[in-house]
Chains A and B, each alone.
Chain A
């Protein structure tokens, strides 16, 4: 398995060099969004209104962090299960979203949209939330503060460890990995 270091936001070139199983360390700016924020973003798109963030090249991290202790940047922050975002994802990919960090399988429609839009789906280790939080250097809420843990946060991350699950060539680590170790 290859180790790669990437700077976010991503370019088409970055994405084209990733294949399933790659261990990637992401540094730079990413945004959080989970169920309720996705619903609001897609409602804005449907109405033709402006989004609270520019999606071009961005990575969305599906996470609802726990509250930060005094003096801490953020609370524990591991990925949530991604399929709940599937209904909204193709619309965001069409708007330029390049990467997603979550955990668990995506729908066929999302996988096809990932290929069509030259994007990538990463998994972070679910439950390794205290460790992940240490790689987040800055956090600020930029939209929907009323949603509490579901608000959109802008995060500055340093070497956030993720694994490529769905690459831009249509491969799926969950399917191939499971086949390899079935007995």
Chain B
């Protein structure tokens, strides 16, 4: 049994909160640069250039790439041979989030209650998703998620008869309704199957895949390609000013489901598709 201390978790989460907000992934930067070559709108090209420049400034000065440093969404993959010593794992995660957001000069965007709405002043609590996995490692991913794009996400319980086309229609409808609001070019996470909450989590997890990655299942890879092409024909473009680069990528994750159901969740991420992972 491997022992991991409370302090190790605090430090790791704190570092990941800062690095996720300062350093945009190379996959996203590469994709934005490819977008500059593809984009037909002059304004759209300018926007994409500004985003590449912005990522460089954020990383050079170690400041957040976006002022909305998000809800701290934390994924924990806890090896079943791991023993956390010195305190409560979730408390350690929250202490790490507070430390990272305060010491890293990140914006505190969490309110204590959805209706009372008083700022907690340290961006806690985190939204934590935990998986127990084989092995003796603890893998932590911090994925700060901005409010603008999260607000444009949607879930629908389709009848199985709606099938593949029903899924495509719902994804396109969601992206079209979102228009300029979620800061396109967007990354689209689609969760299909499971049940109500599983579909939403699948969509969120799909956003953690690298931009440019393809689903290993051939049919799903084909669906991702078709969705990306269709979204980029909507005309929304960078920031919604019109153009052909509306989405950088579409990732579809699936899970078996009930004979009566076809749940579909669409989680939209802005171009600041931020997440950083570390294994202890």
**Chain A residues with a Cβ under 8 A of chain B:** 1, 21, 23, 63-69, 72, 75-78, 80-81, 83, 103-105, 123, 125-131, 133-134, 148-149, 161, 163, 165, 173-174, 176-183
Contact = CB atoms under 8 A, between A and B. Distances in A.
A125 B63 CA distance: 17
Contact of A174 (B51, B54, B179): B179
B68 interface: yes
Interface string B122-163: 000000000000000000000000011001000000000000
A134 B58 CA distance: 11
Interface residues of B, number: 48
Interface of B: 40-43, 46-47, 50-51, 53-54, 57-58, 61, 63-69, 105-109, 119, 121, 147-148, 151, 179-181, 183, 233-237, 239-244, 270-272
- Listed from nearest, the 10 A-B pairs whose CB atoms lie closest are A177-B242, A182-B235, A126-B183, A181-B235, A104-B181, A66-B107, A130-B58, A128-B54, A178-B235, A131-B54
Contact of B50 (A72, A131, A181): A131
B151 A182 contact: no
A149 B199 CA distance: 33
A182 B175 CA distance: 14
B53 A80 contact: no
A183 B235 contact: yes
Given A123-B239, A127-B270, A128-B51, A133 B148 contact: no
B148 A129 contact: no
Given A1-B43, A77-B67, A182-B234, 17 more contacts: A21-B43, A23-B43, A67-B105, A72-B63, A83-B181, A103-B240, A104-B180, A105-B180, A129-B67, A149-B109, A174-B241, A177-B243, A178-B235, A178-B240, A178-B242, A181-B235, A182-B233
Given A66-B107, A104-B240, A149-B107, A81 B181 contact: yes
Contacts of A69: 63, 105
27 contacts: A21-B241, A66-B67, A66-B105, A66-B106, A69-B105, A75-B107, A76-B63, A83-B181, A103-B181, A123-B241, A126-B239, A127-B183, A127-B271, A127-B272, A129-B68, A130-B54, A130-B63, A148-B108, A173-B241, A177-B41, A177-B43, A178-B236, A178-B237, A178-B242, A179-B235, A181-B40, A181-B244
